[in-house]
Every structure is written in structure tokens, then in C-alpha cells.
């Protein structure tokens, strides 16, 4: 298992969704390894490009590379293999082709180690906004409690405004050996349903949690999260 959830998902995405050959996958991964070492040397990251969980930060890195003489020269010598590796990762991270993935996203479910290296103070785990965006796009901007729920068009995406929610809260990560910040545990919700899950009456919350649990039970299990419905309700209510 890699240390980085986004790396594991990226590799699975290239192989399973994009159906790229082993050699193309290897080229992209090698390119990202090289880019990571360049960024590390510049002290822009700690270790790997995959540690970046904010898309805005990834945008900054992209601009930086484009303006970096050393990188531009290297890329041109390498017949654009480096920028091509980066661009393919960016395409994945920004979910640009996730609208057509649909249920194929389930093929990417697998056990992920939690990321202790991004454990922050107050025992809160840094959430990946990249995984969140991907989860919203793959749900086609529809509320997973009811696809009929309407919101408004968000300026940033030109799609219905939706929010992500972790069915099993990340504050409970310490109870699990595998990561809770995985596709299987990230739900796309309209803002009303999302607020309901956090601030609704116990009865309404339990009903909503049960429904989502039933939809995700097997995907959670495939992601290493084995939990009964009652335990899931108890954790999600905490
Ligand atoms: Zn939430
Ligand atoms: Zn809703």
C-alpha cells in the first residue's frame, strides 16, 4: 500500500478507468516521481505531489512548473513526458472526466491506510478537497439522499451546488485501522440534507444515515471499513 490515498486511486484510475497500458502508467508515475523530487528540493512539498489535498494548491504548483526554466528544459528534453504525467494527474485530481465514470468509481474501492502524516492538531484529519470534488462530480451533482433535490447553480462549477459529507466522520478515524477519507465514505449531498445530517432531529438523522449506509455498505467493506448499521449510526451521530 502506498502512503498516499490519492496515489493509489490515481494508479487504479489509469489502469481501470482509462485502461492505459502498463508502460504508459509507468511513464506517468515516473514523471510524477521526478516532479515530486523537484518540488521537494524547492521545499514546496514534504515528500510527494500526492500529499497535496487542495486543488487550489495543485493549481499553484502547475503554474509554478510552467514558469520554471529547469522544468521546462527538462520536459522538452524528455519529449513532454513530465508535463504529460502532471497533466494526467491534474485531469484525475480535478475530476475533469469523472462525469462519465458513474458506477465505475466502485472499481477503485480498496483498503487505504489512514494518512498520519497529515494528522493536524486537535486530532482532526485534513480532508482531501480533491477526493471531495471527485465524489461530487462522480455523483453528477445530485444529492445522494434524493436525486430530485434542487439547489442553485454554483459560480465555480456552473453545476448545481452540492456539498460533501463523510458518512463516518473523520473525527472517528482513531477507531479505524484504514482510512475514512475514501470515495466509499464520501457522500454528495444538497446543502439542506447536509445540514440535516449534522443538525437534524435524531429521528431524521438516523433515517438519513441508515439510507446512506445501505447504499454504501459493500463499498465501505471493500475499502476496509467493516461496520454494522447500528455501529455506523452510533458513530455518525457522535
Ligand atoms: Zn458533513
Ligand atoms: Zn438532499
Residue range 4-14, pLDDT digits in tens = 999 999 999 99
Based on the domain organization, do 108 and 204 belong to the same domain? yes
Same domain, 118 and 88: no
Q: Are residues 78 and 151 in the same domain?
A: no
Q: Mark whether 18 and 136 lie in a shared domain.
A: no
pLDDT at 124: 52
Q: Environment class of residue 147 by beta-carbon count within 10 Å: exposed (0-12), middle (13-18) or buried (19+)? A: exposed
Please tell me the predicted confidence (pLDDT) of residue 1. Answer: 53
The answer to whether residues 180 and 71 belong to one domain is no
CA 90–ligand 1 middle distance (angstroms): 26
Q: Is the pLDDT of residue 61 over 90?
A: yes
| pLDDT at residue 182 tops 70 | yes
- Cα of 148 vs centre of ligand 2, distance in Å, is 8
Q: Kindly state the average pLDDT of the residues 74-95.
A: 96
Distance 192 CA to ligand 2 centre (A): 6
What spacing in Å lies between the alpha carbon of 149 and ligand 1's midpoint? 17
- Spacing, Cα 24 to ligand 1 middle (Å): 37
Q: What is the mean pLDDT of residues 219-223?
A: 97
Lowest mean pLDDT among 84-93, 97-106, 108-117, 153-162: 108-117
The reply to whether 157 and 105 lie within a common domain is yes
CA 164 to centroid of ligand 2, rounded, Å: 11
Q: Does residue 110 sit in the same domain as residue 226?
A: yes
**Cα 125 from Cα 128, distance rounded (Å):** 9
Last residue of a domain, one of 94, 118, 151: 94
119 with 231, same domain? yes
Distance 59 CA to ligand 1 centre (A): 25
Distance 88 CA to ligand 1 centre (A): 30
What pLDDT, on the 0 to 100 scale, is given for residue 198? 96
Closest by Cα among 167, 177, 148, 146 to 219 = 167
Higher pLDDT, 15 or 126: 15
Distance 179 CA to ligand 1 centre (A): 17
pLDDT at 220 over 70: yes
Reply yes or no on whether the pLDDT at 120 is more than 50: no
Q: What is the pLDDT of residue 204?
A: 98
Which ligand has its closest atom nearest to the C-alpha of 204?
Answer: 2
Residues 65, 131, single domain; the answer is: no
- CB contact burial 187-201 (16+ within 10 A = b; e otherwise): bbbbeebbebbeeee
| Residue 214, domain extent | 101-237
Same structural domain, 30 and 61: yes
Same domain membership, residue 146 and residue 88: no
pLDDT in tens, 127-171: 889 999 999 999 999 999 999 999 999 999 999 999 999 999 999
Predicted confidence at residue 207, as pLDDT, reads: 98
In a shared domain, residues 53 and 122: no
Q: Cα–Cα distance between 189 and 163 in angstroms, integer?
A: 5
C-alpha 219 to ligand 1 mean position (Å) = 19
Question: Which of 63, 94, 125 delimits the end of a domain?
Answer: 94
Position 3 scores a pLDDT of 80
- Number of domains observed in the structure of the chain: 2
What is the average per-residue pLDDT within 168-187?
A: 94
Ligand nearest the Cα of residue 212 is 2
Q: What is the mean pLDDT of the chain?
A: 93
Taking the centre of ligand 2 as the mean of its atom positions, its distance from the CA of residue 196, in whole angstroms, is 9
Does the pLDDT at position 125 exceed 80?
no
Domain end marker among 43, 67, 94: 94
Pairing of strands 163-166, 186-189: antiparallel
Amino acid at each position: 500500500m502506498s502512503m498516499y490515498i490519492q496515489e493509489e486511486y490515481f494508479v487504479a484510475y489509469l489502469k481501470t478507468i482509462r485502461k492505459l497500458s502498463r508502460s504508459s502508467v509507468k511513464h506517468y508515475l515516473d514523471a510524477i516521481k521526478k516532479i515530486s523530487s523537484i518540488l521537494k528540493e524547492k521545499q514546496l512539498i514534504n515528500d510527494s505531489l500526492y500529499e497535496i489535498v487542495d486543488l487550489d494548491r495543485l493549481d499553484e504548483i502547475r503554474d509554478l512548473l510552467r514558469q520554471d526554466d529547469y522544468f521546462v528544459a527538462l520536459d522538452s528534453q524528455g519529449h513532454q513526458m513530465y508535463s504529460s504525467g502532471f497533466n494526467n494527474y491534474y485531469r484525475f485530481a480535478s475530476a475533469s472526466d469523472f462525469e462519465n465514470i458513474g458506477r465505475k468509481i466502485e472499481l477503485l474501492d480498496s483498503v487505504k491506510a489512514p494518512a498520519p502524516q497529515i494528522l493536524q492538531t486537535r486530532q482532526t484529519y485534513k480532508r482531501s478537497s480533491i477526493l471531495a470534488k471527485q465524489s461530487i462530480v462522480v455523483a453528477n451533482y445530485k444529492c445522494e439522499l434524493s436525486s430530485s433535490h434542487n439547489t442553485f447553480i454554483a459560480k465555480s462549477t456552473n453545476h448545481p451546488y452540492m456539498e460533501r459529507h463523510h458518512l463516518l466522520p473523520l473525527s472517528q478515524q482513531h477507531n479505524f485501522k484504514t482510512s475514512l477519507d475514501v470515495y466509499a465514505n464520501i457522500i454528495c449531498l444538497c446543502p439542506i440534507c447536509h445540514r440535516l445530517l449534522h443538525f437534524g432531529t435524531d429521528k431524521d438523522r438516523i433515517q438519513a444515515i441508515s439510507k446512506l449506509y445501505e447504499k454504501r455498505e459493500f463499498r465501505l467493506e471493500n475499502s476496509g471499513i467493516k461496520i454494522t448499521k447500528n455501529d455506523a449510526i452510533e458513530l455518525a451521530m457522535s
